[in-house]
A = this chain, B = another copy of it.
Amino acid sequence: MLQEFNIILVETSHPGNIGAVARAMKNMQLSQLRLVNPKLFPHADATARAAGAEDVLRGARVFATLPEAIADCHIVFGASARDRTISWPAMTARQCAEAYVGCLSPGERVALVFGRENSGLKNHELDACHYLLRIPCNPEFSSLNLAAAVQVVCYELFVAGGFQAESAVGDRGEEPLANAEQMEAFYRHLLETIADIGFLHPERSRTLMRRLRRIFNRIHLDTKEVDILRGIFRFAQDHNLKS
């Protein structure tokens, strides 16, 4: 149960927090932990704070970068306490749990990404996320301890497992969702295409691509749809080459 939900910690500084996260996960029947470039791991502090969840620590997979850690995941949430300049589509922990627990097709995986203890996730990391994951809290004191944030999210997933919720994505087809790796290839192709047709001004490309990601990340394209759109890109590119 809840095997499809992966907790991903980015550049955690204190190994004790990794152990506390493992404990919080196991308390709520999650087991899939991924670590991106942890400062110290494995470490005695992690084992001590795991307090019986050493199996989760032993099973943790370590990655060098976030894109590698989420490559096989289909729906990616980035936990964020701060307000961002560009407004990203957001879901609360409860909405996320009610939308996805019990509603995934076989083989579909969800990534729940948590940033550094002091500074959270960087904007370029959030670009890889489909939704901000929000934990409702005191706007004047909104920085939760890392393990506390994971605890609340895992708790909501566990509680949602107690009943079958409606799917937020709704009426989906039979095609499998594109995973993060396929979506990155899609975005590279999109960027190439808009450069080829002359639309891209280099100085505004970053903002533009962020806006385009914001659009396409929230559609959850399936693999067939990615094929269709990339087919259109190829025609736009070819015509440009001929011109």
Chain A interface (Cβ < 8 Å from any Cβ of B):
20, 23-24, 26-29, 51-53, 86-87, 89-92, 94-95, 131, 134-138, 141-145, 147-148, 151-152, 155, 158-159, 162-165, 167-174, 194, 197-199, 208, 211-212, 215-216, 218-219, 221, 225, 228-229, 231-232, 235-236, 238-240, 242-243
Contacts and interface: CB of A to CB of B under 8 A. Distances in A.
Question: What are the 3 closest A-B residue pairs judged by CB atoms, nearest first?
Answer: A243-B243, A199-B235, A87-B173
Given A24-B145, A28-B137, 9 more contacts: A23-B145, A87-B171, A87-B172, A89-B168, A90-B168, A91-B168, A92-B164, A168-B168, A198-B235
Given A95-B167, A141-B53, A219-B219, A89 B172 contact: yes
Contact of A138 (B20, B51, B151, B158): B158
A201 B181 CA distance: 30
A116 to B, nearest CB: 14
A167 B134 CA distance: 11
B221 A219 contact: no
A151 B20 CA distance: 13
